[in-house]
Structure 1
Amino acid sequence: MDSFFFNITDTKYKRTELFKGKEGYLNRVDISNGIVFLESKLVQYTQEVTLENLDRMLLFVMVKKGTLTLYDRLSQKEMRVKDGEIALYVSSKQDMTLTIEKSKNSDIFILCIADFFLKRYLSAGENEIIDFLYHELQKDVSLKIIDKQPIDALSLYIVEKILNVSVTERMQSIRAEHRVIEFMIHRFSLLDYFSEEIDAISLELAAKAKAILLQNFISPPTIESLAHLCATNESKLKKVFKKVHQTTLHAYVQKLRLDEANLLLKEENLTIGQIAK
């Protein structure tokens, strides 16, 4: 089987049309050796992509509109990512079909990251999610879901920046790769990996609070309101959130705001005053 990624001697930024018609398009973009993304916008059309490779890779699947079905022939399992969701999968070998289901409008982004790209950033930290994912990829796993969440504004923003790198722009690979790394950092920061045992009830409570804050960090609910939404009391919520996420509720909201502000400063050339508004 061929590799899904570049050959070692072919490392130029490359855009390939896999499908184009009146119904829309499906493009493949090779950013650099070890980073590939598929992007599709279709109207009332079903499109399939077959993967038959022996690559160890992460797959980020973001579905703004429509539904993407992943059918893994090796395990004979079918998984779906639906409208407004973003999911992360690991796969150490591929014999699968990705199907963009027919819908009124579909808007789908799939980012594939090779394990040898991840290997550059291993830290051997006890709770480092990137190390955990890399070691998962060394196992014999055809397709395994790691995480699925609603699409957040910051992920959407960074993906738009990845898509907007022009093939005529200078240093396309390094610009796009930089934005992919920003995307990975953000998505990994939203994942929870723990070396210590934490009970399922605490994990569920912390995850629910985190999801609410992720969708409302610009105007977050008060701790009292958040506790009510999570069907618990303020004291328990603060204690559990700190134990699970190793940060306070306030600090987590501030981090989300700071991440977005830094991107706006860097990418949109806005002033600090404009961002504060």
Structure 2
Amino acid sequence: MDSFFFNITDKRYQIKEIFNKKEQHVTRVDISNGLVFFDIALNLNTDRVLKVKNLDRMNFIVSVANGKCQINDKISNKTYQLNESNTYLFATSSQNFEITLSHSNKTEIFILFIADFFIKRYLSDNSHEPINTLYQKIQTDVSLELIHSAQTDALSLYLIDKIIHAKNNDKMNSIISEHRAIEYIIHRLSLLEFIDTNNFNEQQIAIAQKAKSIIQNNYINPPSIKELAHLCATNDFKLKSYFKLVNQTTIYAYVQKLRLDNANLLLREQLLSVAQVANAVGYKHSGHFSAIFYKTYGVYPKDLKSI
């Protein structure tokens, strides 16, 4: 079986039109060695099948904007149903699967394939980093495994649009597209939470997880540290220490992450203003919200409203 990635020293930005008819297309773009995306826009009267059969270790991200599809793994005999407005992260060390695009008046799907040797460039000394966990996963014998699924947020749509349209640049389209693809990967991986419970004792895990659950249900108006410690039957010091140890973040940072994650979902709603989104996730002033959003993602929330 051939490699999915072109694996050559020449890293030219390569575009291949697999199908192109009026406003319909299936386009493969090799951004650089180890980074490939498919841009799919079709009006389907019948199902269409894309086959992937290689010996590559990779992660890939599927974002279904419109329509539905399923992935049939021929090795494990598992079938994954992928729904509209959702994004899915997969891991695979050997491929023999089919992506079936269901018949629909409007099918729009974006798939980014990331080779293990591309991921390896960015491994961290911190074993808690999601990218390390994903890399280790695809070094094992896994035909196809769903790692994460979630609703597609506004920032993901914004970055996908930038990745796809980098081909319209006359200069440096490979660098621009790879830069946006890395931003997209960073954002999708930031949504993952891997906790190795073997590294902590039962009390640390119990307190950290209870606090996390309480915050998830009250991130708009979270309890104070003292109130949260009381709810977790512990003191302030243990609460903050155990939470950071287990979750690799502070309580304040986690509250902010939940607010921004949910804001990203709400920003897809065209009827909501930025001020309404800010208020809905717990920020009283839209200017403060926009500043935090820009500091975190490098783009203002108002810029996502146009996608």
Place the TM-score, normalised by the shorter chain, in its bin: 0.7 to 0.9
Q: Is the 8 A contact 2:127 2:133 kept in 1?
A: no
What is the rounded CA distance, in whole Å, between the counterparts of 1:84 and 1:120 in structure 2? 31
Residue of structure 1 equivalent to 2:100? 99
Q: Does 1:264 pair with 2:265? A: no
One-letter identity of the residue aligned with 2:41: K
Residue of structure 2 equivalent to 1:44? 44
TM value normalised by structure 2:
0.71
Deviation of 1:254 after TM superposition, in Å, equals: 7.0
Deviations 1:38-77 (A, max 9, x none): 1111123432211110010101000011112111101111
One-letter identity of the residue aligned with 1:246: T
Show structure 2 runs of 5+ residues with no match: 199-204, 224-229, 233-238, 262-288
One-letter identity of the residue aligned with 1:42: L
Q: Does 1:251 pair with 2:256? A: yes
What is the rounded CA distance, in whole Å, between the counterparts of 2:213 and 2:43 in structure 1? 38
Q: Is the 8 A contact 1:23 1:43 kept in 2?
A: no
Residue of structure 1 equivalent to 2:75? 74
Deviations 1:108-151 (A, max 9, x none): 00000000000011113121111110010101111001000011
Off by >6 Å, runs of 4+ in structure 1: 239-242
TM value normalised by structure 1:
0.78
Residue of structure 1 equivalent to 2:18? 18
Q: Is the 8 A contact 1:206 1:241 kept in 2?
A: no
Q: Is the 8 A contact 2:215 2:255 kept in 1?
A: no
Deviation of 1:24 after TM superposition, in Å, equals: 1.6
- In terms of Rg, which structure is larger? 2
**How many residues of Structure 1 are paired with residues of Structure 2 in the alignment?**
249
Q: 1:10 to 1:48 in 2, by over 3 A?
A: farther
Show structure 1 runs of 5+ residues with no match: 214-219, 225-233, 269-277
Residue of structure 1 equivalent to 2:131? 130
Residue of structure 1 equivalent to 2:109? 108
What is the rounded CA distance, in whole Å, between the counterparts of 2:17 and 2:85 in structure 1? 25
Deviation of 1:157 after TM superposition, in Å, equals: 1.1
User: Alignment partner of 1:165: what SS?
Assistant: helix
